[in-house]
Chains A and B, each alone.
Chain A
Amino acid sequence: MLKLTEKFMRIIFLIAAMASVLAVIFICVFLFSQGLPTIFRIGVFEFLLGDRWAPTAAEPLFGILPMILGSLYVTAGAILLGVPIGIFTAVFMARMCPPWLYRLIKPAFNLMAGIPSVVYGFFGLMVIVPLIFDWYGSRFDMMSGNTMLAASVLLGIMILPTVINIAETNIRAVPQELYEGAVALGASHERAVFKVILPAAKSGVMAAVVLGVGRAIGETMAVRMVAGNQVAMRMPHEFLYGVRTLTTNIIIEMGYVEHGSIHYGALIATGVVLFVFILIINLLFTAINHDKKEKSKRQKQNHGETSV
């Protein structure tokens, strides 16, 4: 009897596991079957390297290079702002934080991770955008505060919980002996943490950064509200101008698009490009994790040999 229920439950779990795998497969099939034909119809180079996006013009143009760059810039800005803060916070929380403070800030970061992105977007629209416009608007002849900078700052804040949580876990996972060894050799607490612990947790921290990149590049709602959404080719120093990212391109134009048209296909194709981006990021993450495991295995082996 017991065995029967066990078997039954096992099947239930199997179905549950298959469901998510199937969902991924269906999404892949949908994206590629709808997107790839359009990409080939437009032309791979025209689509990926075209610098004009004019889907409803008399002679429509479907170049998404400005949006690919837009996504990269905004993400890079978010990493530049968010990662240093995130890593230092993680170090602080793992190694320097007094317990009473930890009990306060840990739930705060968990809460931060749960805030819907539209709320972040609203915050950006109401606080960051006007602030940027007030500060730099007249000096740099700006139209508004809806800029790459605004999107980067907002995303920099949004990736913090991801970066902090993963970096903290990995810093905590560094064996205590390393720290004790460093202190025994005369290093101060700070020196031991920054010169020994943090380098030892390097690959874990890298993984945190990679996941942060994934979060930033996939964010849609919040970016849409603050980025200005112009489809214009930008250079990195033009961070006081607006950009459109791959994600926002889809959400902005999906509402009014004629179904089955080439414009519709191009939006799905934009999704394909985004999907490939995310795929690369996930592969990177897996590679880093794999590397980490190998390393720790080797470390353990070395450890075993020396202790013998």
Chain B
Amino acid sequence: MKKRILALGLAVISMTVLVACGNESNGFDDSRRIAVFTREDGSGTRDAFVGITGVGDDMYIEAIVEDSTAGIRSNVVSNLYAIGYISVGSLNDEVKALSINGVLPSDDTIRNGSYVLQRPLLICVNDEKAADELVQDFIAFMLSAEGQEISATNWTMVDANAPAYERSAMSGTIRIGGSTSVEPLMQRMREAYIALNPGVTVEISGGGSGTGISEATSGVIDIGMSSRELRENEKEALTDIDIALDGVSLIVNPENPVSNMTLEQVRAIYVGETTQWSEL
């Protein structure tokens, strides 16, 4: 009895090992299933993505949900058959950005609108904070030539002819929170601003667009960051200002031979109509 169990166990183990060996293959096999990765419900990147592509509320139910840009990216790096979408500012060499309708995301194509997958990165302040001198100065800096130059590093500037920033030696503390998509941009803004105004402390926290908007409304923070347009009811209490434009880039593994998709193909993948790479 004991021996029989042992033999059975060994058989199972050796079978698993054999399966493992038999399956090793290199290169891209386009009969494989498209591994669709998406962001979670409520994410600004997802809002922008489903809005522009026309996926809307019909997101493919089998799409794997990751709740961060890094999560999407690391899955695309490790999974040959994966597709995901992240902000253009978060692209790196480990993943390949697809062109949409033949247009690759770049500053020019985003600002002139020929790259269609894009959204504004914005800040919002309530009326009380909008009257604050320090907050006004920081916003003026972000919209100045110096600030827009920072927007242009990884994102796209909203205003190519912005006026220069006039130093006014401010001091105090600004608390900023919200969208994690806007956070990297805001951190660079902070560095440059503090270099000009050493007396100012800028505290930045994440939490997502929703958190940023609600905390800016209640005044818990001075400036909220959002990567989606404000809703009508949110605009009642808040003033919103675009500080940069951000493309949403579709990314695949660098070994994936596909390099261009139409917006319709993207939609078909994300609603689950196209499930294999060979169907493209």
Query: What residues make up the interface of A, taking CB atoms closer than 8 Å to B?
Result: 54-59, 125, 130, 133-139, 141-144, 146, 224, 228-232, 241-242, 244, 251-253, 255-260, 263
CA of A149 to CA of B24, assembled, Å = 21
Contact status B65-A256, CB under 8 Å: no
Chain A to chain B contacts (Cβ below 8 Å), 6 pairs: A58-B57, A139-B19, A230-B61, A230-B65, A256-B43, A259-B214
Q: When A58-B57, A134-B20, A135-B20 are in contact, do A255 and B63 touch as well, CB less than 8 Å?
A: no
* A256 and B211 contact, Cβ closer than 8 Å, known pairs A55-B41, A55-B42, A138-B32: yes
Given contacts A228-B65, A229-B65, contact A258 B41 (CB under 8 A): no
Report if A139-B40 is in contact (Cβ < 8 Å); known contacts: A146-B64, A255-B208.
Answer: no
Once A133-B79, A138-B23, A252-B40 are accepted as A-B contacts, the answer to whether A258 and B62 lie under 8 Å apart by CB is no
Residues in B lying within 8 Å of A, measured CB to CB: 16, 19-20, 23-25, 29, 32-36, 40-44, 47, 56-57, 61-67, 74-75, 78-79, 81-82, 180, 206-211, 213-214
Contact: B64 with A143, CB < 8 Å? yes
12 extra A-B contacts, CB within 8 A, seeds A143-B81, A255-B42:
A125-B74, A134-B24, A135-B19, A138-B23, A142-B33, A143-B33, A143-B34, A230-B61, A231-B61, A232-B61, A253-B42, A256-B44
CB distance from B267 to the nearest CB of A (A): 16
Are B211 and A259 neighbours in the complex by a CB distance under 8 Å? Answer: yes
Number of A-B contacts (CB under 8 A): 110
Of the candidates A135, A143, A256, which one forms a contact with B209 in the assembled complex, judged by CB atoms under 8 Å apart?
A256
Q: Is the interface of A mostly helix, strand, loop or mixed?
A: loop
Assembled-state Cα–Cα distance A224/B67 (Å): 9
Q: Are A256 and B208 in contact (CB under 8 A)?
A: yes
Please determine whether A257 and B23 come into contact, CB atoms closer than 8 angstroms: no
How many Å from the CB of A245 to the closest CB on chain B? Answer: 12
B residues near A54, Cβ cutoff 8 Å: 41, 57
Report A216 CB to chain B, min CB distance, Å: 21
> A56, B41: Cβ atoms under 8 Å?
yes
- Give the 8 A-B residue pairs with the shortest CB-CB distance, closest first: A256-B42, A256-B208, A57-B57, A229-B65, A255-B208, A143-B35, A259-B214, A252-B67
- CB contacts (< 8 Å) of A255 on chain B: these are 40, 42-43, 67, 180, 206-208, 210-211
Q: Quote the shortest CB–CB distance from A285 to chain B (angstroms).
A: 32
**Chain B residues near A228 (CB-CB < 8 A):** 64-65
Contacts of B74 in A (CB 8 A): 125
With A and B bound together, what is the CA distance between A25 and B171 in angstroms? 44
Nearest CB on B from A21, distance (A): 30
Residues of chain A with a CB closer than 8 A to B40's CB:
229, 252-253, 255-256
**Contact A144:B43 (CB < 8 A) given known A58-B57, A229-B65, A231-B61:** no
Choose from A141, A229, A231, A256 the contact partner of B210 (Cβ within 8 Å): A256
Nearest CB of chain B from residue A27's CB, rounded to whole Å = 21
Inter-subunit contact B75/A257 (CB<8 Å)? no
CB of A117 to closest CB in B, whole Å: 16
Which residues of chain B come closer than 8 Å to A130, judged between CB atoms?
78
Q: Point out the residues of chain B lying under 8 angstroms from A263, CB to CB.
A: 41-42
